[in-house]
A = this chain, B = another copy of it.
């Protein structure tokens, strides 16, 4: 009898902490940088009649001996048509030794944590150690989650938040200030938000630059989180003439990440781009001076999903959470 653990979104919410997600994502990147993980390029396709897209991100990680994948649907009319979330993910976690399924779980919660943990890990290796001022552009769910990750890694004192939806950014400022007991202000423009920031986070669905090159001061780290499809763009590509470009996975970022535009326009050479896993594994350098400008282009990898799902699985087994089903 093969037993498989199933975990709902609610059950995962009670198990997964940002600290666990940060560790999982950092170790997944490290394994990838050390050649101990397999991360095939994602499969994506659109379902035009329902304004939907499907993304499948598989992976295998040798250091935890697990494979698996996240199957995520993005159906942008779901809230309107069904009162359902736009993004619905399902994660399958598989024993790397023999292919047996270990767990099947909601992937929305894990996806949200692993994406924000990517920002936290990127900033850990790229931002100045004394970073305390952050700017968050895009104050939706991921803007909230990104701040949660940053506050785990840095002693953040001031956050300036900007969103096209000004009311939304005001709510964000109020909620986040209360949650973390720090000063969070809503800015009237992206320019005002990023002024003086040590760490800038962009977490929008933008398809043209929202942050201009001229605004960026020496020593800044930018976490570019939003771009994960061809055509998406949050940063002025001129930034890459003077910034160090760090990505999660070069072949993927060239296609769907923030760097796609700078590479296409010849402003950035692929040979000059570094993968975060290479830095974590000690093969390449992260920040090399107080004045360097760094950009972390995170598009999201299957290894992040598998590593974070594995952490959730271990916690669930330890605490007897979830339902067991028999597969055969």
Q: Which residue of B lies closest to A50 (CB)?
A: B97
A62-B49 in contact (CB<8A): yes
Residues 56-96 of chain A, each 1 if its beta carbon lies under 8 Å from chain B, else 0: 10101010000111011111001001101001101010101
Residues in B neighbouring A98, C-beta threshold 8 A: 50, 52, 73, 75, 78, 81-82, 84, 88
**Contact of A242 with B by CB under 8 A:** no
A45-B60 in contact (CB<8A): yes
Q: Which residue of B lies closest to A104 (CB)?
A: B104
A56-B75 in contact (CB<8A): no
**Contact of A323 with B by CB under 8 A:** yes
Q: How far is the CB of A13 from chain B (nearest CB, A)?
A: 9
| A19 CA to B69 CA, complexed, in Å | 32
B52-A328 in contact (CB<8A): no
Query: Using a Cβ–Cβ cut-off of 8 Å, how many residues does chain A contribute to the interface with B?
Result: 49
Select which of B47, B49, B67, B323 is within 8 A of A54 by beta carbon. B67
Among the 9-residue stretches A4-12, A127-135, A190-198, the one with 4 or more Cβ atoms under 8 Å from chain B is A4-12
When A108-B328, A328-B9 are in contact, do A43 and B45 touch as well, CB less than 8 Å? no
Ordered by A's residue number, 25 sampled pairs between the chains whose C-beta atoms are within 8 Å are A8-B325, A8-B326, A9-B327, A9-B328, A40-B43, A40-B45, A43-B43, A43-B56, A47-B96, A50-B98, A52-B98, A52-B99, A54-B60, A54-B94, A69-B71, A71-B92, A73-B94, A75-B97, A88-B98, A88-B101, A90-B94, A90-B104, A90-B327, A106-B327, A323-B325
Binding site for B on A (CB under 8 A): 6, 8-10, 38, 40-41, 43, 45, 47, 49-50, 52, 54, 56, 58, 60, 62, 67-69, 71-75, 78, 81-82, 84, 87-88, 90, 92, 94, 96-101, 104, 106, 108, 323, 325-328
